Amino acid sequence: MAADPIEQGYTLPYRWYSDAEILRREQERIFARSWTYGGRAAEVAEPGSYVTTRAGDVPILVSRARDGELRAFVNVCRHRGAVLTEGHGRRETIQCHYHAWTYGLDGALRAAPRAERELDFDKTTLGLVPASAETWGPFLFVNPDANAAALADTLGELPAILGEAVDLGALRFHSRVDYALQANWKIAAENFLECYHCSVAHPQFSSVVDVDPDAYLLEHHPTFASQFGAIREQPKALPYDPRGEVGRGQFHLLFPNVKLNVMPGRPNLSIGPIHPEGPDRSTVYLDYFFGEDVDDRWIEELLAFDNQVGVEDQSLVESVHRGMRSGAVDRGRLLLSSEGLIRDFQRYVLERLA
């Protein structure tokens, strides 16, 4: 085998998809240092608001204090390590449900019951551990690294590319769909990064989007991978109406784990992260946004269509995970003309774990 299997089109070793030590390193070297989608910017738009989210296995609290500044913290109490709070809302302080240690939305420790009985208790040193948060249009992004480079460095050309299809500022949140996969997070990401399987596994998708290898375009970028699919000239079937302002589909993976989808038709976008829950399990959610004048029937048809594709993908990735976990095969061989974006993703992972 070649000295550099990834460059020659071979996959990562299959044991990397079920190894707890590999996942520990991914959490430490990838997710703890990366920007990920954390929810809707509207949830922390007003002073006095907060929302909880996560980045990998790090719980994150994002707040906007009365001074109007957006802040992020590790959502872990400095007392005994409890996850501090959950959900979202409006309030002046956040109180731990365990021993009532209370923090301001600026992260400072305001009160700790019985602290006055201690000789050397300095509240100023026990504020919440800082993280990073930024917004992009209607989206909230978080990074556990308090000294992370700007989100714009990770987004790169992605805002301009998406702007060719939809006006992010004109989109309105509709709903969230979440689901679990009995599969490693990397398998879910790699499945998303190719449409080689579409004509076989996604008949409805392939009836709308032209998945022919000469029509379905792949684009390589330093921090994300993109796919573009035009509407078929003579659709075989219409699970939803793909005619409208958006002339072709866009499907992006912002490394390491954020999916963004725009389907042909009326203004629409879905975005969400793939979260590892263990070597053998992942959770995914997608937030759906639509243009203000998109009618309810069209939205219902698109959501049903997208759900069907998701059900088909779940079966695929769980099958792949079972095969990889068996240990009977060492690694796979990609077809780089159709699966080159998987090689980019695997190189991204490999470089950070090496």
Q: What is the pLDDT of residue 7?
A: 84
**Stretch 34-43: mean pLDDT, rounded?**
98
Q: What is the pLDDT of residue 254?
A: 98
Tell me the per-residue pLDDT of 204-244, one tens digit each, with 9 for 90 and over: 999 999 999 999 999 999 999 999 999 998 766 689 999 99
Q: What is the pLDDT of residue 237?
A: 63
Per-residue pLDDT at 1 exceeds 50: no
Q: What is the pLDDT of residue 162?
A: 98
Is the CB of residue 38 less than 8 Å from the CB of residue 138?
A: no
CA distance 104 to 93: 5
Per-residue pLDDT at 32 exceeds 70: yes
Is the CB of residue 79 less than 8 Å from the CB of residue 91?
A: no
Whose structure tokens read 């551990």? 129
Whose structure tokens read 């689901």? 179
Is the CB of residue 325 less than 8 Å from the CB of residue 206?
A: no
What are the residues whose beta carbons fall under 8 Å from the beta carbon of 291, sequence distance 6 or more?
166, 170, 171, 172, 245, 266, 267, 268
Per-residue pLDDT at 150 exceeds 90: yes
What is the 3 state secondary structure string of the chain? CCCCCCCCCECCCHHHHCCHHHHHHHHHHCHHHCCEEEEEHHHHCCCCEEEEEEECCEEEEEEECCCCCEEEEECECCCCCCECCCCEEECCEEECCCCCCEEECCCCEEECCCHHHCCCCCHHHCCCCEEEEEEECCEEEEECCCCCCCHHHHHCCHHHHHHCCCCHHHEEEEEEEEEEECCCHHHHHHHHCCCCCHHHHCHHHHHHECCCCCCCEEEECCCEEEEEEEECCCCCCCCCCCCCCECEEEEEEECCCEEEEECCECCEEEEEEEEEEECCEEEEEEEEEEECCCCHHHHHHHHHHHHHHHHHHHHHHHHHHHHHHCCCCCCCECCHHHHHHHHHHHHHHHHHHC
Radius of gyration of the chain (CA): 22
- Global pTM reads 0.96
Per-residue pLDDT at 2 exceeds 50: no
Tell me the per-residue pLDDT of 275-333, one tens digit each, with 9 for 90 and over: 999 999 999 999 999 999 999 999 999 999 999 999 999 999 999 999 999 999 999 99
Which of 152, 171, 162, 163 minimizes the C-alpha distance to 226?
Answer: 162
Per-residue pLDDT at 200 exceeds 70: yes
Strand order in the sheet with 258-262: 171-181, 281-291, 268-278, 258-262, 248-254, 224-230, 217-220
Whose structure tokens read 């409208």? 244
Tell me the per-residue pLDDT of 153-176, one tens digit each, with 9 for 90 and over: 999 999 999 999 999 999 999 999
Domains of the chain: 36-147 (2.102.10.10), 153-353 (3.90.380.10)
| pLDDT mean across residues, the chain | 96
Question: pLDDT above 90 covers what percent of the chain?
Answer: 95
Take residue 146 and report the two structure tokens written for it.
């308090």
Tell me the per-residue pLDDT of 58-74, one tens digit each, with 9 for 90 and over: 999 999 999 999 999 99
Least confident of 72-86, 192-206, 225-239: 225-239
Residue 133 — very low, low, confident or very high, per pLDDT cuts 50/70/90? very high
Q: For the stretch 242-265, what's the b/e string if a residue is b when 16 or more beta carbons lie within 10 angstroms of its beta carbon?
A: bebebebbbbbbbbbbbbbbbbbb
Least confident of 12-16, 133-137, 231-235: 231-235
Q: What is the pLDDT of residue 57?
A: 96
Q: What is the pLDDT of residue 110?
A: 98
Q: What is the pLDDT of residue 238?
A: 83
Residue 181 — very low, low, confident or very high, per pLDDT cuts 50/70/90? very high
